[in-house]
Amino acid sequence: MVRIIMHGCNGKMGQVITGLVADDPNAQIVAGIDIADNRDNGYPVFTDIKKCDVAADVIVDFAAAAAVDALLDYSVEKQIPVVLCTTGLSDEQLARVKESSKKVAILKSANMSLGINTLMKLLKDAANVFAPAGYDIEIVEKHHRLKLDAPSGTAITLAEGILENIDRKDKWVKGTLVAPDGSVSGNTVYAPDELPVSSVREGEVPGIHTIRYDSEADSISITHDAKNRKGFALGAVLAAEYTAQHEGFLGMNDLFQF
């Protein structure tokens, strides 16, 4: 049985994973980390990760970027692998993740769902067909009003995967941003070598990502619509079981073998 520390246990994803693991015979959450200890999770919760003294095989992280530095320090010191799901990390933090993975296994992914990771594979294949045919490409992502980073980490990962497979676009850029109050800001005009990624923040949307291919002849859209957070939670638990048995810097492509 894989023993898990849930980092960000009282957040929305932390609670979904807590419920999922409760019915999983192959995993157990043995401790949680959260700035607020305001509910009974069935396991001890520490408001300071440094004070967590519970033995574990892996840490699953769905917290905030501000908490990642302390998480990396703890995982290296205790030699506990990490499934790192927090997005919006700075360049310095991303460099620290890579460096830390030389000392303890870290699986980093902007999105844990099987659906999104399959979509990434499909988009790479589609780019090889549509880009040479002259189709332009745009990504639009929609998330709940409380999500801080825009574009989402998933949208950025999708964009980077597409860029790896086309020659005529060099970079992704922020497109328009529709705020929770309906106000619109950002860019609407792009250079030919730019791939725009636009964002919408509204309501309680778990996550919708649409990739549009457009030409004079027709338009093609591929959309992943997360109905709830269960798909992300299941992927995180599978990643935890995998990461606990491996080394180095890992991704969901290592788990699913795309």
Q: Is 224 a catalytic residue?
A: no
Separate counts of helices (H) and strands (E) for the chain: 7, 13
The owner of tokens 């157990």 is: 28
Q: Please check whether residue 72 is in contact with residue 86, taking contact to mean a CB–CB distance below 8 angstroms.
A: no
Given the residues 7, 108, 143, 224, the one annotated as active site: 143
Q: What's the CA gap between 58 and 161, in Å, rounded?
A: 28
218: number of CA atoms within 13 Å, CB side? Answer: 4
Q: What's the CA gap between 63 and 41, in Å, rounded?
A: 16
Q: Which residues pair with 32 in a beta bridge?
A: 6, 45
Given the residues 108, 147, 169, 224, the one annotated as active site: 147
What is the SS3 assignment for 183? coil
Q: Please check whether residue 215 is in contact with residue 136, taking contact to mean a CB–CB distance below 8 angstroms.
A: yes
Question: Residue 3: enclosing H or E segment and its boundaries?
Answer: strand 2-7
CA dihedral 100, 110, 114, 76 (to 10 degrees): 20
176 Cβ partners below 8 Å, 6+ apart?
A: 184, 185, 186, 187, 188, 198, 199
Q: What letter does residue 9 receive in the DSSP assignment?
A: T
Q: Is 147 a catalytic residue?
A: yes
**What is the set of active-site residues?**
143, 147
